[in-house]
Structures are given as structure tokens and as C-alpha cells.
């Protein structure tokens, strides 16, 4: 809306222009017009002229900061923003620009502190519009830095202030969908109210309002005043711990969570969750493993390459060289993986004893204008001597001297151990079940034993096994187990957790029994339970409607075990019109799981069943038909693909959501342009997905549809 005398003044005073900068109305209108047209140079010239007569005008300085950012002049912007804030530390526009500047400069701690100061200058529940952009911006930056609690809290805060914000919605969706972020980090919450018998219930309520509205420093001060009553209500410590997480003080947060967990009034599960929350933000550093790069020359590259390509314990990895080079650094000609033992004979079952592990990787470079032929070896320090000895034995005189060694990165011990990197020469020769058993055996035997004897910073350098069987250590050990479980592939986490708890002598989680009664009572019960515990719930008494509502919640977070239990419960009940929507959602879950575990052919059987149920219930089958079309194309059945696409386009042409989904699928497949103009429909069966290259076998997972053991790798060309 164009500015007029009744508009709020752009200087940020909160007053209408007629009561503030009335003499600047014409200039503000002109500046708005120039900026909206993207004429940044003209706008900057106008601002500089106006500043001579109106120095330190917040509206002009904010506009200048915007122009400097939009034109990529970040050094000038940061200097301008810092000067603006220094001269006007109480003005919200100055605070907003300072927060943006500090975030761009990577100084997120200072940015966050200033942002909260700015929010606290508003009444709880309100925010000045100038703070909305920096609020989302710093949340995104903190997410990239792995400061999950703060990023989640800021994203939720942004959405509460501005429900229509696409940026905050997209950020929350990104966080919720990330499998590498434990659910406890996404959904750990404070108590909205104190117990009725708590003497300072009203004061805690004031703190809760401030916690919910971004007035975190004020809330922290109130909670600290109430700590003298924590013996009566220890949850004060948990709320204090959470706000300290949000404010970036991990040490203070961990201390508060430990005090909460130590209270005899706190349940075992709540104590374990609090300790887990603290551990997740304070990764131990003492066990980091070095990944090094060793460069060795190759006197006769042709001869060396001939030997490497014929060595059984070396696997040549196909890759597109165009993606791994530039004018300054030509791409390697070959990439190899070295394994620690020979591959098992054809037909022999996979076992922990006969399946090779990755020893290291290396890139082979031919002779270049200014460099000799060489190999660049990337290997964990602990494997370096073994790998170099193997290469020396293999290449002999064809391996030249070492010319360079440097540290590439450091990786946590746990991260490495949760990714054993088994190498299988013929992936097609083994079933998913065989590979899954191999990894399950690894986690529940080899990994479990090594982890039990591995020193932990959280145990002051002690090992989990050293505290086994001690009742007072049970919550701490259970939390340690839970942190491991949260970082383990869901296929193996439950079995690993059970094995570790048995070896440590700590109780297995009890089944959660919801009350039998009407749906509202059951749903209220689940609302009081953290979502990450829903997988432990007995859902056998839930109605389809209640299970459907819970399924929609856990689907948002991708909580696999709870999704499976709830969808199975829904599909076990008779199909009725009242539960049609819940059954549709349940079928979607089961189809996705089946496609990931058994492939599209098996999933098509479920889709046929689901489409039949949808038609009987009067529900659109458009989404299912499009999913079927994608699977048919993956199986090379182009005629079936065309039939299904035509069916959806004809029968669901009046359904905007179906048409939008169809268009997006066609764009993603490259069959139409984003503007809707056609390219071409497939006229021949699509090629089947290529098998993973030799030596690159991973576990089948729902995320990939191909084998994967989880975790990052050393450099690979794939």
C-alpha cells in the first residue's frame, strides 16, 4: 500500500507520518517508488542528498542498508549497520540492521542477543515488522551451524508472529523433514503452566508467556528468581535449561537439565530425556578422528594404473570427470577404494568375518604440465600405515615418494563407528535381508562392545561399562544409549538400544498404555506424551479417527515406528466412510515403506488396494494414480505411465490440487517446461535404475531406496 499521511512512519517510531516525519512525506513517497522499481543507484543518490538535511534519519539509513545488501556491497553494509546501531541502540530498525550485519559476518551469538533485546522492546505477543526478516535469517544461519534448539524456537516464533510467512513455514518444514535431527531437538517444550499448588503459579505463568513470545532474557530472569522453589516443582530447571539452550548457553542449559534429572520427583523417562537433550548439544571432542590426505608421486603412471586396475582389493569407481575439475585443478582420471581384505568367493553368505570394510580412498592423476603423476590418498589416520603398506606392496617401484601430507578434517568417533562402510563386490547377488542382517550383526555385537568400552566425556572420561549395574547411574546411561539411538539408522536403532540396555543392566522402556474411552480422552493423553515416545504406545484400542489424527502428526516429523504402528492399526479396522481419510493416509505410509523395502512392483499391489478403497469411500484417487504412474515409469512401463497421466488429466481436471501435482510431476520428469509447454512423452520403456557400482554397497533405507548405512563418506565420485 502506498505511503500516505496516515501510514506508520518508516522511521520506526510507531507513530503515523503526520505525527512524526510529516515534512518528509513527499520524499518518503518518492523513495518508495524508486526502490519498488529496483532503481538502487538512483535511490542511493536520493538518500545521500536527503541525509544532508536529515542526518541520522532511521528510515533513510534503513533504506541505504537495504540497497547495500541488495547490491552485494556487504562490507559497506556492515559498516553502515554498525554505525546505525552504535548511534541508535534503542531503535528497532537499527537493531534489525545490526542483527542482519552480525549474522552475515558469522557472529550469530551477538546477533541473537541483539535480536532478543529488540523483541523485548515490544509487548509480549507483538513484534515490530523490521525484526521479522532478521528473525528468520538468523534462524537459518543457526540451523546451518547445528544449533538446533535455537533455530527451531526462532522458526516457531517467526511463524507465530507472521503465520503467512513462506520463509518461516519453509524453514520449519525443512527442519521437520531432516532425518539427521533427533525429534527431541525439534519438539522439546517447556511446561505452559505450573501445578495448582505451586505458590508462585502466576509468576511462572508470566515467565511462560515470555518464553512463548521471544522475551527469553526476561523469562530467564523470572525463572532464576523462582529456583528457590525448585524442590517443590523441579520442572523449573527444565524450563530454565530450555531457555538457556535458546539463548546459546549450552553449559548453563546442561547444568539445569542435570539438576532437573537429579530430582527424586522426576520420572525416569523425563530424567533420561533431559540428560539426552544436554548431551545432544555438547558433543564430546576428545575422541575426534583425523582424516588425512597423503600425496605420493607415480613415476610410471601407465604401468601404475595397469596394476591398480587389476588388483582385486582395489575397486575402481566410475564417475563423471567433468564434475571434479576446473581450470586450476584438472580432474583425476580414476578414483579407487581400497578394502581391508579380499572379497568373499561368489555364492558365499555375507558375514562380519568375510565382508571387507573400506580402508581408504584415493584419486589418480596423470602427468600434468606443472605436476608429476600422483595419487591423492584420503584415509583415517588410524588406517594410514596399513593402507600405505598395502599400496607399497601392490605398486612396488611404481609408487613414488610422499610429497605432501595434510589434515583434511576431523570426524567424531561415534560418527565413524555408526558407518562401518562395508564393501560388497556384487550387490545384485545379495538380498536386502542378507545385507540388513550383516549390519544388524555389526551394530548389536561389534559396535555395541566397542561403545561400551569407549571413554565418554559425559562420564568424566569413564566408560559406560564401568557404570553398568549401578542404579544411580541408570538415567545417565539410558540417556547415553538414547543419544546413540537417535543417531543410528532406524532399521537398527531398536535392536541396538535393546542390546545396549541389556548389557548395561538398565530397564527397557515400558509400553505406554493409553486410556480406553472416547477419542478426546485418548488424544489428550497423547498430547501429554512427547512425540518421540509415541512409538512405545499400545495403539490397539484406538479408533481409526483417533489413530488418523495421531498419524498426521507423526507423519509431519517422519517418526517411522509410530507411523507404522498407527497405519497398521487403521488398516486393521473395517473400512467405513467415517475413517476413509485416515485409511488413505495409512495406505500412503504403507506404500512408501513397501516401495523402499521391496521395490515398486510390490508397492503397486498396495496402490491397487488403496485406490479401490478410495473409490468406495468417494475419495479422489488422483494422488495414488500419479504415484502409480511414477512407479510404472521406473519399471520401464511407458504405456502404463501415459495411461495413468491421461486418466488423471481427464477425470480430475476440475481438482486444482490434482492438476498442480500432475504438473509438478511432469516438470520434475522433464516432460513439460515450467511454463506448461510440452517436451515429449516417453515412447520407449525407461531404463531401469543402474545397480550401484562394484564396491559401493549400502543398506536399503526409506530415504534412498538403495542400500545405505547412513553417515558421510570420504571423498567419492558418486
45-59, 430-444, 521-535, 661-675: lowest mean pLDDT where?
Answer: 45-59
Residue 201 pLDDT greater than 90, yes or no: yes
257-261, 555-559, 658-662: lowest mean pLDDT where?
Answer: 555-559
Separation CA 323–CA 446 (nearest Å): 37
Mean predicted lDDT score pLDDT of the chain: 86
Residue 13 pLDDT greater than 80, yes or no: no
Q: How confident is the model over 679-708, as a mean pLDDT?
A: 40
With a pLDDT cut of 70, the percent of the chain lying above it is 88
DSSP-assigned beta bridge partners for residue 294? 377, 405
Q: Please report the pLDDT score of residue 4 as a whole number.
A: 64
Residue 345 pLDDT greater than 90, yes or no: no
Q: Give the position of cell 498407527.
A: 566
Instruction: Please answer whether residues 150 and 248 qualify as being in contact, where contact means their C-beta atoms are separated by less than 8 angstroms.
Output: yes
Residue 706 pLDDT greater than 90, yes or no: no
More confident residue, 685 or 608: 608
Residue 638 pLDDT greater than 70, yes or no: yes
pLDDT band for position 697 (50/70/90)?
Answer: very low
User: What SS3 string covers 12-43?
Assistant: CCCCEHHHCCHHHHHHHHHHHHHHHCCCHHHH
Residue 180 pLDDT greater than 90, yes or no: no
**Architecture of the domain whose range is 190-266+275-280:** Alpha Horseshoe (1.25)
Q: Please report the pLDDT score of residue 713 as a whole number.
A: 34
Residue 208 pLDDT greater than 50, yes or no: yes
Q: Please report the pLDDT score of residue 505 as a whole number.
A: 93
Q: Please report the pLDDT score of residue 65 as a whole number.
A: 82
Q: Please report the pLDDT score of residue 490 as a whole number.
A: 83
Q: Please report the pLDDT score of residue 40 as a whole number.
A: 76
All three cell numbers of 695 = 564396491
The CATH number of the structural domain formed by 519-668 is 1.25.40
All three cell numbers of 117 = 533485546
All three cell numbers of 690 = 543402474
Separation CA 280–CA 182 (nearest Å): 9
Separation CA 359–CA 216 (nearest Å): 49
pLDDT band for position 657 (50/70/90)?
Answer: confident
DSSP structural state of residue 300: S
Q: Please report the pLDDT score of residue 154 as a whole number.
A: 96
81-90, 466-475, 574-583, 618-627: lowest mean pLDDT where?
Answer: 574-583
- With a CB cutoff of 8 Å and minimum separation 6, the contacts of 110 are 102
All three cell numbers of 511 = 509400553
Separation CA 579–CA 21 (nearest Å): 60
Instruction: Please answer whether residues 476 and 459 qualify as being in contact, where contact means their C-beta atoms are separated by less than 8 angstroms.
Output: yes
364: left (phi over 0), alpha (psi -120 to 50) or beta: beta
- With a CB cutoff of 8 Å and minimum separation 6, the contacts of 702 are 490, 560, 592, 593, 596, 597
Residue 34 pLDDT greater than 80, yes or no: no
Residue 698 pLDDT greater than 80, yes or no: no
Q: Please report the pLDDT score of residue 179 as a whole number.
A: 83
Q: Please report the pLDDT score of residue 556 as a whole number.
A: 85
SS3 337: strand
Instruction: Please answer whether residues 85 and 115 qualify as being in contact, where contact means their C-beta atoms are separated by less than 8 angstroms.
Output: no
Separation CA 32–CA 275 (nearest Å): 52
Q: How confident is the model over 216-245, as a mean pLDDT?
A: 96
- Give whole-number Cα distances, 427 to 634, 700, 713, in Å: 19, 11, 18
Separation CA 382–CA 296 (nearest Å): 18
Same fold, 190-266+275-280 and 519-668: yes
Residue 615 pLDDT greater than 90, yes or no: no
Q: Give the position of cell 549450552.
A: 250
How many CB atoms within 10 Å of residue 443?
A: 25
Q: Kindly report, residue by residue over 504-555, the tens digit of the pLDDT.
A: 999 999 999 999 888 999 999 999 999 999 999 999 999 999 999 999 999 8
Task: For residue 710, report the phi and psi dihedrals to the nearest 5 degrees.
Answer: 80, 160
Q: Kindly report, residue by residue over 67-78, the tens digit of the pLDDT.
A: 888 888 889 889
Residue 710 pLDDT greater than 50, yes or no: no
Q: How confident is the model over 612-631, as a mean pLDDT?
A: 85
pLDDT band for position 291 (50/70/90)?
Answer: very high
Q: In what order do the strands lie in the sheet with 374-380?
A: 314-316, 334-339, 358-365, 374-380, 289-297, 402-411
Pick the closest to residue 661 from 671, 648, 650 (CA basis): 648
All three cell numbers of 707 = 542400500
Separation CA 480–CA 282 (nearest Å): 12
Residue 700 pLDDT greater than 50, yes or no: no
Element (DSSP H or E) covering residue 143: helix 132-144
Q: Please report the pLDDT score of residue 679 as a whole number.
A: 67
More confident residue, 88 or 361: 361
Separation CA 555–CA 677 (nearest Å): 34
Q: Please report the pLDDT score of residue 708 as a whole number.
A: 33
Separation CA 26–CA 29 (nearest Å): 5
Residue 50 pLDDT greater than 90, yes or no: no
Q: How confident is the model over 387-393, as a mean pLDDT?
A: 95
CA 608 to chain centre: 33
Q: Please report the pLDDT score of residue 452 as a whole number.
A: 96
Q: Please report the pLDDT score of residue 703 as a whole number.
A: 31
618: left (phi over 0), alpha (psi -120 to 50) or beta: left
374-380 and 314-316 strand pairing:
unpaired
Residues 452-475 as b/e (b if ≥16 CB within 10 A, e otherwise) read beebbebbeeeebeebeeeeebbb
Q: Where are the domains of the chain?
A: 104-187, 190-266+275-280, 289-426, 429-504, 519-668
Amino acid at each position: 500500500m502506498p505511503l500516505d499521511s496516515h501510514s506508520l512512519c518508516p522511521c520506526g517510531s510507531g507513530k503515523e507520518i503526520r505525527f512524526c516525519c510529516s515534512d518528509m512525506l513527499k520524499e518518503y513517497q518518492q523513495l518508495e517508488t524508486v526502490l519498488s522499481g529496483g532503481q538502487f543507484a538512483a535511490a542511493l543518490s536520493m538518500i545521500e542528498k536527503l541525509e544532508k538535511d536529515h542526518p541520522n534519519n532511521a528510515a533513510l539509513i534503513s533504506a541505504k542498508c537495504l540497497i547495500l545488501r541488495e547490491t552485494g556491497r556487504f562490507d559497506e553494509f556492515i559498516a553502515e549497520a554498525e554505525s546505525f546501531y552504535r548511534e541508535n541502540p534503542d531503535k528497532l530498525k537499527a537493531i534489525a540492521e545490526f542483527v542482519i550485519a552480525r549474522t552475515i559476518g558469522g557472529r550469530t551469538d551477538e546477533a541473537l542477543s541483539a535480536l532478543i533485546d529488540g523483541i523485548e522492546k515490544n509487548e509480549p505477543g507483538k513484534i515490530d515488522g523490521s525484526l521479522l526478516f532478521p528473525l528468520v535469517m538468523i534462524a537459518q544461519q543457526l540451523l546451518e551451524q547445528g544449533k538446533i534448539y535455537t533455530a527451531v524456537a526462532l522458526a516457531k516464533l517467526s511463524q507465530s508472529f507472521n503465520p503467512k510467512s513462506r520463509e518461516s513455514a519453509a524453514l520449519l518444514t525443512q527442519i521437520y523433514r531432516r532425518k539427521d535431527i533427533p525429534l527431541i531437538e525439534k519438539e522439546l517444550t517447556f511446561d505452559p503452566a505450573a501445578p495448582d499448588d505451586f505458590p508462585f503459579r502466576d509468576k511462572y505463568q508470566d515467565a511462560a508467556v515470555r518464553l512463548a513470545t521471544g522475551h527469553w532474557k526476561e523469562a530467564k530472569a523470572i525463572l532464576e528468581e523462582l529456583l528457590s522453589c525448585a524442590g517443590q516443582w523441579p520442572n523449573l530447571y527444565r524450563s530454565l535449561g530450555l531457555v538457556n539452550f535458546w539463548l546459546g548457553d549450552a553449559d548453563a542449559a546442561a547444568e539445569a537439565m542435570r539438576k532437573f534429572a537429579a530430582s527424586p520427583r522426576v520420572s525416569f523417562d523425563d530424567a533420561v530425556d533431559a540428560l539426552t537433550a544436554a548431551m545432544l548439544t555438547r558433543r564430546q571432542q576428545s575422541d575426534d578422528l583425523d582424516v588425512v590426505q597423503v600425496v605420493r608421486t607415480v613415476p610410471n603412471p601407465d604401468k601404475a594404473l595397469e596394476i591398480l586396475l587389476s588388483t582385486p582389493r582395489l575397486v575402481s569407481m566410475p564417475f563423471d570427470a567433468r564434475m571434479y575439475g576446473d581450470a586450476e585443478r584438472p580432474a583425476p582420471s580414476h578414483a579407487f577404494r581400497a578394502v581391508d581384505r579380499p572379497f568373499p568367493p561368489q555364492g558365499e553368505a555375507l558375514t562380519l568375518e568375510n565382508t571387507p570394510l573400506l580402508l581408504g580412498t584415493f584419486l589418480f592423476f596423470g602427468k600434468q604440465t606443472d605436476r608429476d603423476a600422483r595419487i591423492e590418498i584420503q584415509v583415517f589416520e588410524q588406517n594410514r600405515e596399513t593402507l600405505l603398506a598395502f599400496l607399497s606392496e601392490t605398486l612396488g617401484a611404481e609408487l613414488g615418494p610422499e610429497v605432501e601430507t595434510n589434515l583434511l578434517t576431523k570426524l567424531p568417533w561415534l560418527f565413524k563407528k555408526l558407518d562401518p562402510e562395508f564393501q560388497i563386490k556384487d550387490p545384485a547377488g545379495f538380498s536386502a535381508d542378507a545385507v540388513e542382517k550383516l549390519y544388524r550383526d555389526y551394530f548389536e555385537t561389534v559396535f555395541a562392545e566397542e561403545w561400551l568400552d569407549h571413554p565418554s566425556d559425559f562420564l568424566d572420561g569413564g566408560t559406560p561399562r564401568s557404570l553398568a549395574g549401578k542404579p544411580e547411574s541408570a538415567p545417565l546411561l539410558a540417556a547415553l544409549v538414547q543419544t546413540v539411538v537417535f543417531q543410528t539408522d532406524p532399521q537398527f536403532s531398536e535392536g541396538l538400544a535393546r542390546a545396549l540396555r541389556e548389557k548395561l543392566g538398565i530397564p527397557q522402556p515400558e509400553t505406554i498404555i493409553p486410556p480406553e474411552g472416547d477419542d478426546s480422552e485418548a488424544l489428550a493423553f497423547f498430547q501429554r506424551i512427547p512425540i518421540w515416545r509415541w512409538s512405545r504406545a499400545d495403539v490397539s484400542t484406538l479408533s481409526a479417527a483417533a489413530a488418523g489424527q495421531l498419524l498426521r502428526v507423526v507423519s509431519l516429523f517422519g517418526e517411522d515406528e509410530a507411523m507404522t504402528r498407527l497405519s497398521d492399526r487403521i488398516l486393521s479396522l473395517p473400512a467405513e466412510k467415517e475413517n476413509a481419510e485416515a485409511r488413505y493416509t495409512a495406505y500412503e505410509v504403507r506404500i512408501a515403506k513397501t516401495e523402499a523395502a521391496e521395490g515398486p512392483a510390490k508397492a503397486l499391489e498396495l496402490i491397487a488396494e488403496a485406490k479401490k478403497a478410495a473409490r468406495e469411500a468417494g475419495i479422489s484417487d488422483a494422488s495414488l494414480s500419479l504415484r502409480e504412474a511414477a512407479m510404472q515409469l521406473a519399471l520401464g512401463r511407458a504405456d502404463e505411465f501415459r495411461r495413468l497421466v491421461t486418466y488423471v488429466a481427464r477425470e480430475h481436471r476440475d481438482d486444482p490440487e490434482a492438476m498442480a501435482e500432475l504438473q509438478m510431476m511432469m516438470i520434475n520428469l522433464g516432460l513439460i517446461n515450467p511454463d506448461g509447454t510440452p517436451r515429449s512423452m516417453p515412447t520407449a520403456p525407461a531404463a531401469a535404475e543402474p545397480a550401484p557400482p562394484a564396491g559401493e554397497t549400502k543398506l536399503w533405507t526409506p530415504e534412498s531406496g538403495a542400500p545405505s548405512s547412513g553417515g558421510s563418506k570420504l571423498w567419492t565420485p558418486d
